[in-house]
Amino acid sequence: EPEVTQTPSHQVTQMGQEVILRCVPISNHLYFYWYRQILGQKVEFLVSFYNNEISEKSEIFDDQFSVERPDGSNFTLKIRSTKLEDSAMYFCASSEKKPSNYGYTFGSGTRLTVV
Amino acid sequence: SQKIEQNSEALNIQEGKTATLTCNYTNYSPAYLQWYRQDPGRGPVFLLLIRENEKEKRKERLKVTFDTTLKQSLFHITASQPADSATYLCAPLSGGYNKLIFGAGTRLAVHP
């Protein structure tokens, strides 16, 4: 079964450093998303991406965040200057259609720890 | 503002019984509602989607209902097994949008 692949699985970074989280969505999917989950809290929407541009973003997704699809396969989330409160699991997801009978497919996540 | 409510307390049931989880929403009218399963440290996994014109949907031991009048969806797992233990998330979705907003989820524990 096709999967969404995220790397790295765990990233530790110092406060103020830039991080890039990487995702390879399912190849025929057209819609891409980033979500985050702070430990013990709910899964929160960050941003959706379609046709090479952001289609929607949440209040969390401020100027410190950016997304990019640099080639036909990768989808990245960059945090420019990390803060302690950015520590969370970050999930990438993709979907074939809007909406889809198949729902969204999520990756296994990247656990980001800011120290 | 839009609000999604799921039972915050864990649901503990005996193996073989039916688990029923509730999702209530307020201040919007979703055209679709999706249910996901999340295991600790893992991403959500899609289970079922139900449309506003469908009252009920089934998939193997799972059954979902969608009552747009009550603004509520019920998620049932029949003949529950310990392997069904997980957190279950609901996500009502408005037509024309492709942004899933999740409830906080209900943790289900099935005991042998």
Q: Which member of B42, B103, B105 has the closest CB to residue A108?
A: B42
User: Quick check: B40 contacting A, CB < 8 Å?
Assistant: no
Taking only the tens place, the pLDDT of each residue in A81-96 is 999 999 999 999 999 8
Taking only the tens place, the pLDDT of each residue in A30-60 is 999 999 999 999 999 999 999 899 999 999 9
Taking only the tens place, the pLDDT of each residue in B40-80 is 999 999 999 999 899 899 999 999 999 999 999 999 999 99
d(CA A38, CA A44): 9
DSSP string for residues in B72-91:
EEEEEESS--GGG-EEEEEE
E strands of chain A, at which residues? 5-7, 10-13, 19-24, 31-37, 44-50, 53-57, 65-68, 75-79, 88-95, 105-106, 110-114
Q: How confident is the model at residue B96 (pLDDT cuts 50, 70, 90)?
A: low
Q: Does the distance separating the beta carbons of A91 and B44 come in below 8 Å?
A: yes
Contact residues on chain A for B52, CB-CB shorter than 8 A: none
Q: Is the pLDDT of residue A100 over 80?
A: no
